[in-house]
Amino acid sequence: MKISFLLHNAYGIGGTITTTFNLAQALAERHDVEIVSVLRHRERPHFAPDPRVSLRPLVDLRHEKEHPLHLRPARVFPRTEYRYQQYSELTDQRIGECLAAIDADAVIGTRPGLNVHLALQAPEHVARIGQEHLTLDNHPPGLRTVLRRAYRGLDVLTTVTEADAAAYRRKMRLPGVRVEALPNSVPDPVLPPADGTAKVVVAAGRLVPVKRYDLLIEAFTLVAAERPDWQLRIYGKGEEHDRLRQLIQRLGLSDNVFLMGAAAPMEAEWVKGSIGAAASNFEPFGMTIVEAMRCGLPVVSTDCPHGPGEIIDDGADGRLVPVGDRDAMGAALLDLVRDDEARRSMGRTAIRNARRFAPAPVVAHAERLIEAATAARASGTRAAAPARGGMQQALVSRTFGARDVARVVAGNALRTVRRGQR
C-alpha cells in the first residue's frame, strides 16, 4: 500500500513534524511511504527522514517566495486557519495538482487547512485521513464552521486524545466519518534510560508564549534557592528566546537555568536529566512529555487541555499541577528534587507506562484505520462519499464563497482527464 502524508513544512521544527516523521518511518516497514511538504525553506530538514521515506516539496521558498501567485491570497486553504498567511494561490495550485496526480492509496493530512484540501480535492479512489494535532475548542468559530462542512469529505478523522475525539463526535456531527483518537508515537529509545542521579531538570519545545517557559523559570527559583546545585535546561528556539534570557538574568539564575538551543533528536539530552518539565497553558498532546517518560524521567506538567492528563498518572509517573500556578509547579519540582528514591521510582514507572506510546501499538492502530478506509473506498461502501458535480459546487460555495468554486471544480476536471489517460 502507498501512503502519502501532506505536511505544512517538513523542513521546520515542531511536534507535528516530529510525529509525522515518526509515523512515516514506522509505516515504511511494510508500506511505500512519502511525505509531501507544501513548503520548503532550507536545503535539508532538521529531522533526517528514514531512507525508505521519500520527501518532496511543492513550493520552494528559497526560489519562489516572490512568485506572482505566491503574492496572492489562498482561496482553498481556509482564511480562518492559523497558517493562512503562509498560503497563497501558488500553494492552492500546487496542492491541487499534487492531489490530482497522486498515486497513493491513502493520503493523510496533518493540519486543518490541508485536511480541507484533501477532503475537497482528493481523487475518488483515494482514502482521505485527516489528522488534528490541535483541539477542536482551540479552533476559532469561523474555522470550526468551515471544518464542519468540509470534513464530511474525509473517511477518517484522528485526534491525539480521547477527550478531543469525543468533542468532535459531539459537536461536529460528521456523518459517515470515523472519528478516533490516535496518539502520537515516540520511537523506542536507543540509549540507556536516565538513572535519576543527575541534578538536572529538562524541558523542550518551541520558545513561544503558550509554552510558558517564563512560568517554569520563575518556578525554578524555588528549586535554586534550596538546591543551588540543580540546573534547568530548556531546549528549543523561538520568538521568546531573548525575553526568557532577560528573565533568567533578572532573577539571578544565570548559573542555574540555561537556554540550550534546538536539539534533534532529543533523546541524548533527556537521559542527561532526572526530571522533565512542561508548563504549557495548552497542550493538545504533549510529545515532549512522552519523550521524557520513555527516557526514564518523571514529568511535572501543568494539567492543561487535553494531553498531559491522558499521559501522566499523577503521583505514579509524574505530577500534574494547575495551569499558570508558579508556586505549585515549583513545589512539585522541589518534592522530586528532595526525594531521590521517589524520583527514581517514578522514573521507572514512567518507562513502563509510556510504552503504550511506542510505535508498535500506535502504528498497528493507524494501519487498521488506513486499511479500513482504503477497503471502503475500493468497494464503494463509504457511508458519506463526497458529493460530485453540482452538489460539490454547493458545498464549496457554502464553505469558501462562490468566487472560489471554479478553482476546485477545475481541479476535479483535471483529475478526471488524468484518470482517463492512465
d(CA 101, CA 417): 10
pTM value is 0.81
pLDDT at residue number 383: 45
pLDDT at residue number 306: 86
Which residues, including other chains, have CB under 8 Å from residue 295's CB and lie 6 or more apart? Answer: 189, 191, 193, 194, 267, 270, 271
Could you read off the pLDDT tens digit of each residue along the chain, which spans 422 residues?
A: 999 999 999 999 888 998 899 899 999 999 999 999 999 999 999 888 889 999 999 999 999 999 999 999 999 999 999 999 999 999 999 999 999 999 999 999 999 999 999 999 999 999 999 999 999 999 999 999 999 999 999 999 999 999 999 999 999 999 999 999 999 988 899 999 999 999 999 999 999 999 999 999 999 999 999 999 999 999 999 999 999 999 999 999 999 999 999 998 899 999 999 999 999 999 989 999 999 999 999 999 999 988 999 999 999 999 999 999 999 999 999 999 999 999 999 999 999 999 999 989 999 999 999 999 999 998 887 644 333 333 233 333 334 443 443 344 344 444 333 434 43
d(CA 114, CA 58): 13
d(CA 66, CA 19): 31
| Cell digits of residue 250 | 533578572
d(CA 147, CA 71): 25
The HSE-up count of residue 189 (CA atoms within 13 Å, CB side) is 22
pLDDT at residue number 258: 98
pLDDT at residue number 13: 82
pLDDT at residue number 46: 86
Number of CB atoms found within 10 A of residue 72's CB: 12
| Cell digits of residue 136 | 477542536
Please state whether beta strands 127-131 and 156-159 pair in parallel, antiparallel, or not at all (unpaired).
Answer: parallel
pLDDT at residue number 382: 65
For the chain, domains (ranges, CATH) are 2-185+360-421 (3.40.50.2000), 200-357 (3.40.50.2000)
Q: Biggest alpha carbon distance in the chain? A: 73
| Cell digits of residue 233 | 535546561
d(CA 180, CA 1): 21
Centroid of chain to Cα 286: 9
The 3-state secondary structure of the chain, one letter per residue? CEEEEEEEECCCCCHHHHHHHHHHHHHCCCCEEEEEEEEECCCCCCCCCCCCEEEEEEEEHHHHCCCHHHHCECCCCCCCCCCHHHCEHHHHHHHHHHHHHCCCCEEEECCHHHHHHHHHHCCCCCEEEEECCCCHHHCCHHHHHHHHHHHHHCCEEEECCHHHHHHHHHHCCCCCCEEEECCCCCCCCCCCCCCCCCCEEEEECCCCHHHCHHHHHHHHHHHHHHCCCCEEEEECCCCCHHHHHHHHHHCCCCCCEEEEECCCCCHHHHCCCCEEEECCCCECCCHHHHHHHHCCCCEEEECCCEHHHHHCCECCCEEEECCCCHHHHHHHHHHHHHCHHHHHHHHHHHHHHHHHHCHHHHHHHHHHHHHHHHHHHHHCCCCCCCCCHHHHHHHHHHHHCHHHHHHHHHHHHHHHHHHHHC
d(CA 270, CA 108): 30
